């Protein structure tokens, strides 16, 4: 690996048109240390590589001889060159690359409070069983599967990065798992219940141990794709995770006499679509087929209106249309900068801010606020 790194640093120096000494100076390295590192006498430090990567506009992972692209794409993804899929993979690659560079600097992704259930190759009809195990673990850790902000729950309790990205139509979401990264990426959406279901669906892919580095879901509701065993498992997991059996049995009268208004209130309380809730209630034997058929034709907007929560639903739609970076990834990247292990550029690139503007913002003292002591006058 050391020879590969030295070769790539030499290539950067050559392409820069600078002398070795001049390149070292611009990277903030002593010329003699650069020479020793290139000859193998001295190892490049993590901060050396961070500075060299910034100057050469490459990643630390590339300097270390890392991979050139994303992990193998699941066979069921028809084409990574479809607009939405390509954009999703590109954003996931960017976030996974940031995780890889952080791991080299000593900032590994946290494992989370909920253990991963070791259940590779689960058949489709066991998705609900996996969900029941995971819900039990989550509750023991103090988490709530019914929380509307599912992305924060998954990040905090499972140690999985969750991103919401504004990508073209054609990709609902994807799950990424490699040596350093566990990531869920979903598309921004005007349909918040579908977006939340997709987060749970991708969580199912990761926890079921699907044997591909990258699972892409162009349409989690596509009937054809739902026949694939891993898709069926992920969908069954999502329904049972979002709608735990014990919570539903406690909410529905034992005689199955659920009014439309009670059903609508349950849709809003559980933050799921009417069709998902109707089919789950029917599968558990809590409502009869005629009620299922009646309830599944409702819309979430209609349910919100019936129970006087249209404003809340509008706020939820607005929230689901906004992009979101993984909170832990943002924190770890900024911590690496504060700890002197990385330059500011990786953080600036991650959050999409010009590095010079960000540096000025961080280094400029704030103006005194209204509640601060009056500054002393100096003529």
Calpha distance 103→98 (Å, rounded): 9
Model pLDDT, residue 116: 59
As given in the structure block, the two tokens for residue 16 are 């820069």
**Average pLDDT of 194-199?**
96
pLDDT > 90: percent of the chain: 50
Q: Where is average pLDDT lowest: 22-31, 77-86, 189-198, 289-298?
A: 77-86
Angle subtended at Cα 244 by Cα 132 and Cα 305, rounded to the nearest 5 degrees: 155
With a cut of 70, say whether residue 372 has pLDDT above it. no
Could you report the per-residue pLDDT of 279-334, keeping only the tens digit for each?
999 999 999 999 999 999 999 999 999 999 999 999 999 999 999 999 999 999 99
Model pLDDT, residue 82: 64
Model pLDDT, residue 194: 95
Helix axes 327-338, 83-104, angle to 10 degrees: 40
Calpha distance 247→270 (Å, rounded): 10
* Sheet order of strands, 173-177 included: 161-165, 182-187, 173-177, 214-217
Confidence of residue 223 (pLDDT cuts 50, 70, 90): low
Residues 6+ apart with CB under 8 A from 115: 137
Model pLDDT, residue 187: 94
Calpha distance 100→59 (Å, rounded): 9
Chain mean pLDDT for the chain: 85
| Number of C-beta neighbours around residue 135 at 10 A | 22
| Number of C-beta neighbours around residue 252 at 10 A | 18
Higher pLDDT, 374 or 313: 313
Q: Where is average pLDDT lowest: 152-166, 205-219, 234-248?
A: 205-219
Angle subtended at Cα 293 by Cα 288 and Cα 296, rounded to the nearest 5 degrees: 115
Confidence of residue 78 (pLDDT cuts 50, 70, 90): very low
Helix axes 229-242, 192-207, angle to 10 degrees: 120
Calpha distance 302→282 (Å, rounded): 21
Using CB atoms within 10 Å of the CB of residue 147, give its burial: 0 to 12 exposed, 13 to 18 middle, 19+ buried.
middle
Structural domains in the chain, sorted by start: 2-63 (1.10.260.40), 83-242 (no CATH), 246-320 (no CATH)
Higher pLDDT, 273 or 85: 273
Could you report the per-residue pLDDT of 113-135, keeping only the tens digit for each?
886 555 555 555 688 889 999 99
Q: What is the DSSP string of 211-261?
A: SSSEEEES-TT-TTGGGSHHHHHHHHHHHHHHS-HHHHHHHS-TT----HH
Confidence of residue 60 (pLDDT cuts 50, 70, 90): confident
| Number of C-beta neighbours around residue 132 at 10 A | 16
With a cut of 60, say whether residue 172 has pLDDT above it. yes
**Average pLDDT of 345-371?**
84
Closest CA to 350 of 367, 364, 336, 370: 336
| Number of C-beta neighbours around residue 19 at 10 A | 11
Model pLDDT, residue 77: 45
DSSP-H helix ranges across 40-126? 46-56, 60-63, 83-104
Model pLDDT, residue 309: 97
The answer for 265, left when phi > 0, alpha when psi is -120 to 50, beta otherwise, is alpha
Higher pLDDT, 66 or 72: 66
Model pLDDT, residue 354: 92
Confidence of residue 370 (pLDDT cuts 50, 70, 90): low
| Helical (H) or strand (E) element with 148 | none
φ, ψ (nearest 5 deg) of residue 81 = -95, 0
With a cut of 50, say whether residue 270 has pLDDT above it. yes
* HSE-CB for 92 with a 13 A CA cutoff: 32
Beta strands 214-217 and 182-187: pairing type? unpaired
pTM of the model: 0.81
């Amino acid at each position: 690996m050391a020879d590969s790194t030295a070769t790539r640093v030499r290539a950067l120096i050559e392409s820069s048109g600078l002398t070795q000494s001049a390149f070292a100076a611009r990277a903030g390295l002593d010329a003699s240390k650069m020479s020793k590192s290139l000859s193998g006498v001295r190892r490049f430090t993590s901060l050396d590589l961070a500075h060299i990567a910034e100057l050469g506009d490459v990643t630390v992972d590339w300097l270390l001889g890392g991979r050139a692209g994303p992990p193998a794409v699941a066979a069921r993804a028809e084409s990574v060159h479809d607009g939405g899929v390509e954009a999703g993979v590109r954003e996931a690659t960017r976030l996974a690359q940031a995780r890889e560079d952080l791991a080299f600097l000593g900032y590994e992704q946290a494992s989370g409070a909920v253990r991963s259930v070791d259940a590779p190759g689960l058949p489709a009809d066991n998705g609900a069983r996996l969900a029941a195990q995971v819900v039990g673990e989550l509750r023991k850790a103090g988490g709530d599967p019914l929380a509307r902000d599912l992305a924060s729950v998954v990040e905090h309790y499972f140690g999985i990065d969750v991103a919401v990205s504004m990508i073209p139509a054609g990709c609902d979401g994807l799950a990424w798992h490699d040596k350093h990264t566990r990531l869920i990426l979903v598309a921004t959406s005007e349909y918040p219940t579908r977006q939340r279901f997709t987060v749970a669906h991708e969580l199912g892919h990761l926890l079921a141990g699907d044997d591909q580095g990258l699972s892409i879901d162009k349409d989690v509701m596509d009937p054809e794709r739902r026949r694939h065993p891993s898709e069926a498992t992920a969908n069954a997991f999502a329904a049972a995770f979002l709608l735990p059996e014990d919570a539903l049995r406690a909410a529905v009268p034992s005689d199955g006499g659920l009014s439309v208004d009670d059903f609508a209130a349950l849709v809003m309380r559980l933050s799921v679509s009417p069709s998902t809730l109707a089919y789950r209630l029917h599968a558990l034997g809590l409502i009869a087929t005629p009620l299922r058929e009646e309830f599944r034709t409702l819309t979430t907007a209609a349910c919100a209106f019936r129970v006087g929560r249209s404003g809340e639903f509008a706020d939820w739609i607005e929230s689901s249309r906004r992009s979101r970076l993984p909170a832990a990834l943002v924190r770890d990247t900024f911590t690496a900068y504060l700890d002197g292990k990385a330059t500011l550029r990786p953080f600036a690139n991650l959050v999409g801010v010009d590095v010079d503007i960000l540096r000025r913002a961080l280094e400029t003292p704030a103006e005194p606020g209204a509640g601060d002591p009056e500054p002393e006058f100096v003529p």
